[in-house]
Amino acid sequence: MAPAWQRLRFGASLLKRQLNGGPHVIGRGRRVLPGSARGTHSATGTWTKEYTLQTRKDVEKRWHQRIKEQARDVPEADRSKPKFYVLSMFPYPSGKLHMGHVRVYTISDTIARFQKMRGMQVINPMGWDAFGLPAENAAIERDLHPESWTQSNIKYMRKQLDRLGLCFSWDREVTTCLPDYYKWTQYLFIKLYEAGLAYQKEALVNWDPVDQTVLANEQVDEHGCSWRSGAKVEQKYLRQWFIKTTAYAKAMQDALADLPEWYGIKGMQAHWIGDCVGCHLDFTLKVDGQVTGEKLTAYTATPEAVYGASHVAITPGHRLLHGHSSLKEALRKALVPGKDCLTPVTAVNMLTHQEVPVVILARADLEGSLDSKVGIPCTSPEDATLAQSLGLPYSEVIETLPDGTERLRGSAEFTGMSRQDAFGALTREARAKRLGGDVTSDKLKDWLVSRQRYWGTPIPVVHCAACGPVPVPLEDLPVTLPSITTFTGKGGSPLATASEWVNCSCPRCRGAARRETDTMDTFVDSAWYYLRYTDPQNTHSPFNRALADYWMPVDLYIGGKEHAVMHLFYARFFSHFCHDQKMVKHREPFRKLLAQGLIKGQTFRLPSGQYLRREEIDLTGPVPVHAKTKEQLEVTWEKMSKSKHNGVDPEQMVEQYGIDTVRLFLLFAAPPEKDILWDVKTDALPGVLRWQQRLWSLATRFMEARAAGKVPRPQVLTEEEKAEARKLWEYKNTVISQVTTHFTEDFSLNSAISHLMGLSAALSQASPSVVLHSPEFEDALCALVVMAAPMAPHITSELWAGLALVPRKLCTHYSWDAGVLLQPWPAVDPQFLHQPDIVQMAVLINNKACGKIPVPQQVARDQDKVHELVLQSELGVRLLQGRSIKKAFLSPRTALINFLVQE
């Protein structure tokens, strides 16, 4: 096979020939005559025989606006219909769509159109994940305000989506950077705070010592240096806001069992959460017997045995040794690197009131992501060894009965309970008293949501010297961003410079206070947007419960694999929390997931690692080389990127090939979950172009047959022609069943297109009498056009308009006065569902017919079972026994199996 760069040149010329087409044929009145024409049949009353480049442009120009208007005319308020909520992950408004965007939105648009044709009440909303660091960087680099840059990008990208013919539920549009949206993000944050699930503590951040600012992870290069100043980035402890996602770890882990159709993603979610076998417990800290007011949270995998604790262990990297703790000096004095060190600090369990010493461990890391744990020698040999080496006392609090049952002793009110019962009772009591107790894993961390940035949702908290942190009253929301005109990227949070905004009065005591100057991680904005889409205009609450209960859960959520862990975890967390707040009925937000693959372009790279543009590459030889230096290049497939010069402009592709062709290519080139290698278009694009031309030719042939003045008369068909028509009827029903299954179960839209191509091929082979007189041909052609409509709405709209004007139609069950996208989805005929229980399977050996055997209808499509039945039959024993079968091919449509055997 020729290399991709050689096939690309050949494919380009082939595509050009296919797009330009051949001579035209036009229709005047009901006659089809040779000639040339511009325009469309639906607009001019004439029909162009060939589907050329010009025809495609005319068709898309004619139907683009009409299709949008058709979609707008379908109401979404009919609650008597079953609903279907299809959602594609909303984009960050970076300024321009890329092919990855086009792929995911084409998939969601296609499925939304299909579900509408099935009679479902459908929403397919769109919005903008509009806060984020790039807008702030643009403000620094281009002297643009983040808001104006963001709104300008949204305006342009919205036009791009419109030009692609995507019919979103634009009346439900949300933009996360607008106050009418982030007011409710702040509302949910306050609800989390009131529930004890939002809190502050010291945490490590990336610190640029030159610019004196916090850096996001993506602003630190592979050498650990700042992207702007070039300084070596330091780790610094700052007081940060966290959301206590660990409180829902066990519930979210258990709920995965109720998501059978999260193929592949469930395992990733389960791995992210970890094994939920223990919990964190809260301790107050003393030094030399004096209460300090500081707290420590430590994990234990056996909380039921906590009355047997001997110590609390922390790692040498724990915040107490490095942050702004009052205990830092005492702990550092006790630290001897490489040794387990007893300290003068003690920890008092706030639930049991036991007091045990704090130990600094010799090793740098604990299990999972832990930096502190409760030492319980009776359940951990490692803890027992440490306690013995440091001379720490402890109690054996678990006894084993003669029957093997383990029970608690010396454990206050939990004494006498089984370990399992004690685990449940103790963790419940800790949760009730807000002293820990949430069952979680040793690897899951709480969610750090603080960002020292301007362009984000302000955290709605006021800091008062007398009252501490105080949430802003709900009636005072939203806390809007102040107007800041200068962005330098240096210093602390830009919000801290807005003194009039920062300085305020405490909502509780009315004394002087300061607003929180951190903003929220943008993952918070996107953790609940799917709920806002159900009621986007609501000014009184984030959403109306009745509307959320009707639309939720999302029936199909489509997005990139890169969001299969963090975003989904945070979205699930918010949904579980809203359920517990009685804001929504369903715990889980997404019924089915479709994690679509990447679109990759070919990259050409010098040995130095530099990526080259196409014009810098010589493709004339057997291998690509640098045009100037003739150095051989490394050729790979990578995610499309400006920096790698392997991107494709969606608008250029649409201009060159048309909306329908680009849509069909993206759907046909690979299953949605697989990556697309874009240069493979030399194989896939000609295929979908040929198919569109075949659809056009089929409709043209049918219209010509009926326009010739002959009246269709099914009774004149011969027995042979009736058998031919019967096969078309069976094939049509088979394809309807297959395509519907792909749309509803596995979303293999590439396979759906393959089945439709097969039906097109079968129809193109029909004899002239069958085309003219057979209702089966007419019905199969109409069903084909209807089934292709969600994927290629423009060409099918024109084909349907042409078919609607054909006289003397034999099929009356279509709504000929309505567009193709308003037709009901084809159903399998009841007679087809009640066919005989036995199929007469033709048996061929080396392509020669040898007879037939009866096969049960339910296994007639299963090659392995048919193969076995043939071998067991009298015919098989007589003709195949003892012979070497190289391969067998089953054709369910024609009820035929062909054995290739060694002669």
User: What's the pLDDT tens digit per position in 506-541?
Assistant: 999 999 999 999 999 999 999 999 999 999 999 999
Instruction: For 883, list phi and psi in degrees, rounded to 5.
Output: -100, 150
* DSSP conformation class of 91: P
What is the pTM for the complete model shown?
0.86
Tens of pLDDT along 586-619?
999 999 999 888 888 888 998 888 888 888 898 8
181-190, 221-230, 690-699, 836-845, range with the lowest pLDDT:
221-230
**pLDDT band at residue 25 under the 50/70/90 scheme:** very low
Tens of pLDDT along 794-823?
999 999 999 998 888 899 899 999 999 999
* DSSP conformation class of 655: H
Task: Let me know: does 40 contact 58? Beta carbons within 8 Å.
Answer: yes
Question: For residue 150, is pLDDT > 60?
Answer: yes
How far apart are the C-alpha atoms of 235 and 425, rounded to whole Å?
40
Task: Let me know: does 542 contact 187? Beta carbons within 8 Å.
Answer: yes
Q: What angle separates helix 146-163 from helix 650-657, to the nearest 10 degrees?
A: 20
pLDDT at 36: 35
Task: Let me know: does 695 contact 756? Beta carbons within 8 Å.
Answer: no
> Strand locations in 10-151, DSSP E?
25-28, 31-34, 83-88, 121-123, 125-128
How far apart are the C-alpha atoms of 272 and 270, rounded to whole Å?
5
Arithmetic mean of pLDDT, 139-147: 87
pLDDT at 835: 64
Name the average pLDDT for the chain: 89
Q: What angle separates helix 265-273 from helix 566-580, to the nearest 10 degrees?
A: 80
Output 814 or 220, whichever has higher pLDDT: 814
Pure H helices in 325-468: 328-334, 381-390, 419-432
User: Which single residue is written with the structure tokens 């009926």?
Assistant: 706
Tens of pLDDT along 481-511?
999 988 877 777 889 999 999 999 999 999 9
Tell me the three state secondary structure of residue 291.
strand
Output 686 or 873, whichever has higher pLDDT: 873
Output 897 or 211, whichever has higher pLDDT: 897
Output 575 or 133, whichever has higher pLDDT: 575
Task: Let me know: does 552 contact 586? Beta carbons within 8 Å.
Answer: yes
Please state, for a pLDDT cut of 70, what percent of the chain lies above it.
93
Task: Let me know: does 636 contact 605? Beta carbons within 8 Å.
Answer: yes
pLDDT at 706: 87
Residue 640 exposure: Cα atoms within 13 Å on the Cβ side: 21
Per mean pLDDT, which of 248-257, 361-370, 685-694, 860-869 is the most reliable? 248-257
How far apart are the C-alpha atoms of 267 and 254, rounded to whole Å?
12
Task: Let me know: does 127 contact 176? Beta carbons within 8 Å.
Answer: yes
Tens of pLDDT along 452-468?
889 999 999 999 999 99
pLDDT at 759: 96
**pLDDT band at residue 12 under the 50/70/90 scheme:** very low
| Structure token pair of residue 719 | 């027995």
Tens of pLDDT along 262-283?
877 888 999 999 999 999 999 9
CA distances from 568 to 108, 252, 276 (A): 18, 11, 18
Instruction: Give the distance, in angstroms, between the CA of residue 233 and the centroid of all CA atoms in the same chain.
Output: 33
pLDDT at 31: 42
Q: What region does 33 belong to: left with phi over 0, alpha with psi -120 to 50, or beta?
A: beta
Contacts of 340 (CB under 8 A, 6+ apart): 359, 360, 361, 362, 386, 389, 390
Smallest Cα–Cα separation from 641: which of 94, 217, 218? Answer: 94
pLDDT at 379: 95
Arithmetic mean of pLDDT, 765-775: 94
